[in-house]
Structure 1
Amino acid sequence: MNGSAFEPIKIPVEVWDREDSREILKNRDVAGLFKLAAKYAGASQVDIGAATGLSQGRVSRISRNQSHITELDVYERIATGLGLPDHARMVFGLAPLDTASPTGNYGDDHQEQSEELTARIKAAAAIDPTMVMILTTDTNNLRLMDRRVGGVVIADKMRAQIAQLERAHRHAIRPGIRAQLAHVLSETAALAGWQAIDTCALSDAWDHHEHAISAAREAEDFALLAYASGQQAYVLIDLGRPAEATELLQHVRTTYDHRVPGHLRTWLAAAQAEAAAILGDEATCRTALDQAAALLPGDDADPHLPYVSLNTHHLARWRGNCLVRFGDPDTIEDLRSALAGMDGTYNRAEAGLRCDLAHALLATGETDAAQPHLYRAEQLATMTGSRRHGRRVKELTRAATRGPR
């Protein structure tokens, strides 16, 4: 094996002076970098994964352009794992490791990199509060599209938005503008994280949430920090680690509960209830649901929290999702009430709600009544590209087939 987690893959230094290699670096073409590692260092996908900290499956998807990198820390791991020299790191958009001599003997490269960095800083300097507002609006529009059509349809738009925000944020100098860009970047990365959860790309989801948490810290925004941390618990849930998810959510609530607005406090309580329900802890689940109901403000939405959509109907859906696991007799009515209150713009959420309702009906032996909900849930899961809900539809359909007719 040419590389390991502790020894970078050895690509001949002259490779990085080739024009095609420089284009790969400039474009941050990670698939192209992996091809260079295979061609010039004989590195396999397993080697690359071990050297960069990526799973072999993700290396394979990246190599086929089916997965894309957006997080700076992952770019760093790739650069380190592939042993990029400092002049190649700079073309790749990363800081040199040897700050005393960042480009060695590459005088022309030094001048070119200086010019490129100056251009990026100048471009970032053009961003003012109006531009930040436009970028915020773009993220909000992507969020609305995500609710209707799912993340798969807008994947290219999401990647472009994150790349644009990351570029602007990385080279912004004015502290006020930099903090505002960090805020938008955190919101956008958290949205990308949820989309990755929905498509069952859990490693990508974890990285997006780490990105969102880091940006929220720079923005000094407790609400965003609590939200991204709480949403990351769903990665643990889908990994089959609900105990750790419950512990994480409890920690987030304890740390931020009195520092964030009411709608987010409600969201965190309901998320903890869901993790506890999956864990099978009915007492904790019911306590958290009662807390969520008591915390929910009277207004349908908080304009300062565009990423939290929560009202009485949404909370009824959440309650039904939790209590269906314990055979609660009121679950069906909760879920029907929530379905009646949906406005038709939350297609992915409706898929989940109909799965919950079908689950509750199957538990009471009402197989025929469950079938239309399964059919509609399957349609919505397909339309939004939700593998998460699609898997659940298949599980419930199998259960309906085995149940009494």
Structure 2
Amino acid sequence: MPDADRPQELPARLLTDPEMINACRARDFARVFRLVKTRAGIYPSMIARRCELTPSRVGEVMAGRRQLLHMDVIERIADGLRIPGDMLGLARRPWETPQALVVTERETPQQPEPEKQTPGSLPGPDVDSILTLATRTSLSAATLEAFRSSIEDYWRRDDQHGGEALRPAIVGQLRYVVGLLKESRPPSIQNGLYGIAAELARLTGWTYFDARQYNQARSYFTEALQLAKEIDDRQFMANVLACMSLQATYQDKPADSLALVTAAQDQARSALGTTPRVLSMLSMREAFAHATLGNQTSTHRAIAEAHRQFEQIQATDPDPAWVTYFDEPKLIVDTGIAHGRLGEAATAEPLIADALRREDRTNQRGRAFHAFWLARTQLDQGKLDQACSTATQALESASAVASERVSGHLREFYDQLAPYGQEPVALAFEARLRAVLPPVSGSLHP
């Protein structure tokens, strides 16, 4: 694009100002727009034109009468105002350069001193570079272990409360670790950093997937794949592809789901030392894909392979940390869900019920998700009272965790109650659903 048509970049001093950083982190666009106006001289009419908004809408936002929440609008704001993606909790935008900010030369065109007179190689004025400069020290194995411990804590809190509130911290740590990768370090440390960055990117993608923001999830999953590929970690690449396969089932793309999990299995089998637990988990994801396609024979075969691999697990297996969640209750509940997806409710119900009794009670999202599936299999068998009772239990767990994926499932269950709409248990469930979960347009019957 010609320079005359290229959107004006914001001054570096504004993008590194704590007030602007906090406003972007909170997605407080009233503050963002006011700061852009007062600090960069970009007036509301220009903001509207660059962000593809109406001037009246921009005015309402600045006056505090309207909020901007949709991801496509947030992306237009990032692109129109040239706000780096990670400041708004987005993936790196296509226009961002590796330096992220290159406006310093334009701000001081009269400066005659060339950069080569500056001692050393100073970073640019972006936040990542400042953090990298502040931590330009040798890293040890203990530092890597500290990163891994924080990731374990993120996953635990994600299970208990959902990832929405965690995401800014996870993205910040991801960008921090990616900044550390720019320096030369011993191979063992460098490879460890790549692995940590890959897991942080996968975790970020997972939080977007759980929020049903699929485009953002795919961007971070792709970044995780690229980072893992740098160190040829094929088991982890298989793990990311399995996440993408699961997402494809939610997007009603079962053929894509099967292609992705097949690629995941190819990666795992080509890696040295892939453990039976990893192969079992991947076979179960294959079963999900076949079940979504309605392939009964293939689903049963994949389930059998998942159980065969699980039986080969030894206590001494060098399982990656990211697969240890796949324990016996998880195998059983996923087996039940695969049968449920096929419509084999009578087979699915006792499996899911047994796993739910044995499941860790701190995993609120998992319990809500699995209770939904139990309720669905009960409803498929005409057990209305049991189904509504189970779904109400799922609501209690769902109320403790911010997961649009789980909330969406429970609204789907309500839609499945339509034939029983005047039954007392269905009306009671509807009342509880409205009390616990905010209504979404079109998801609840009037």
**Contact 1:233 1:249 (8 Å CA) reproduced:** yes
**Contact 1:352 1:389 (8 Å CA) reproduced:** yes
Shift of residue 371, structure 1, vs aligned partner: 1.3
CA distance change for structure 1 residues 323 and 58 in 2, over 3 Å: closer, same or farther?
Answer: farther
User: Using the alignment, how far apart are the partners of 1:8 and 1:207 within structure 2?
Assistant: 30
> 2:320 corresponds to which residue?
305
Match of residue 235, structure 1, among 237, 244, 247: 247
Match of residue 213, structure 2, among 201, 205, 210: 201
CA distance change for structure 1 residues 362 and 174 in 2, over 3 Å: closer, same or farther?
Answer: same
Runs of 5+ consecutive residues of structure 1 not aligned to the other structure: 48-53, 97-102
Amino acid at match of 1:316: I
User: Using the alignment, how far apart are the partners of 1:197 and 1:87 within structure 2?
Assistant: 26
Shift of residue 22, structure 1, vs aligned partner: 6.5
User: Using the alignment, how far apart are the partners of 1:258 and 1:17 within structure 2?
Assistant: 48
> 2:438 corresponds to which residue?
none
**Contact 1:196 1:205 (8 Å CA) reproduced:** yes
> 1:163 corresponds to which residue?
175
Shift of residue 323, structure 1, vs aligned partner: 0.9
> 2:359 corresponds to which residue?
342
Tell me whether 1:264 sits opposite 2:260 in the alignment: no
The within-5 A match list for 1:62-211 is: 69=86, 74-75=91-92, 77-79=94-96, 88-89=101-102, 110=115, 111=118, 114-116=121-123, 120=132, 123-211=135-223
Q: Deviations over 1:283-316 (max 9, x none)?
A: 2221111111111144589664222211221111
> 2:265 corresponds to which residue?
253
- Compare CA radii of gyration and give the structure with the larger one: 2
Moved more, 171-180 or 223-232: 171-180
Runs of 5+ consecutive residues of structure 2 not aligned to the other structure: 54-69, 424-446
1:220 alignment partner, SS class: coil
The within-5 A match list for 1:321-340 is: 321-328=337-344, 329-340=346-357
User: Using the alignment, how far apart are the partners of 2:203 and 2:3 within structure 1?
Assistant: 35
**Contact 2:194 2:228 (8 Å CA) reproduced:** yes
User: Using the alignment, how far apart are the partners of 1:87 and 1:143 within structure 2?
Assistant: 29
Shift of residue 182, structure 1, vs aligned partner: 0.6
Match of residue 292, structure 2, among 271, 278, 289: 278
Shift of residue 171, structure 1, vs aligned partner: 3.3
**Contact 1:335 1:357 (8 Å CA) reproduced:** yes
> 1:99 corresponds to which residue?
none
Q: Deviations over 1:80-113 (max 9, x none)?
A: 6xxx9x894387xxxx9xxxxxx99755583499
User: Using the alignment, how far apart are the partners of 1:61 and 1:302 within structure 2?
Assistant: 48
2:260 alignment partner, SS class: helix
Shift of residue 73, structure 1, vs aligned partner: 11
> 2:374 corresponds to which residue?
357
Tell me whether 1:396 sits opposite 2:402 in the alignment: no
RMSD of equivalent CA atoms: 4.0
CA distance change for structure 1 residues 153 and 79 in 2, over 3 Å: closer, same or farther?
Answer: closer
2:102 alignment partner, SS class: helix
**Contact 1:347 1:380 (8 Å CA) reproduced:** yes
> 1:44 corresponds to which residue?
50
User: Using the alignment, how far apart are the partners of 1:57 and 1:287 within structure 2?
Assistant: 45
> 1:289 corresponds to which residue?
303
CA distance change for structure 1 residues 123 and 193 in 2, over 3 Å: closer, same or farther?
Answer: same
**Contact 1:237 1:245 (8 Å CA) reproduced:** yes
2:338 alignment partner, SS class: helix
CA distance change for structure 1 residues 21 and 185 in 2, over 3 Å: closer, same or farther?
Answer: closer
**Contact 1:316 1:335 (8 Å CA) reproduced:** yes
Q: Percent identity?
A: 15
Kindly tell me the number of residue pairs found equivalent between the two proteins.
Answer: 377
User: Using the alignment, how far apart are the partners of 1:58 and 1:42 within structure 2?
Assistant: 13
User: Using the alignment, how far apart are the partners of 2:173 and 2:164 within structure 1?
Assistant: 15
> 2:64 corresponds to which residue?
none
**Contact 1:198 1:388 (8 Å CA) reproduced:** yes
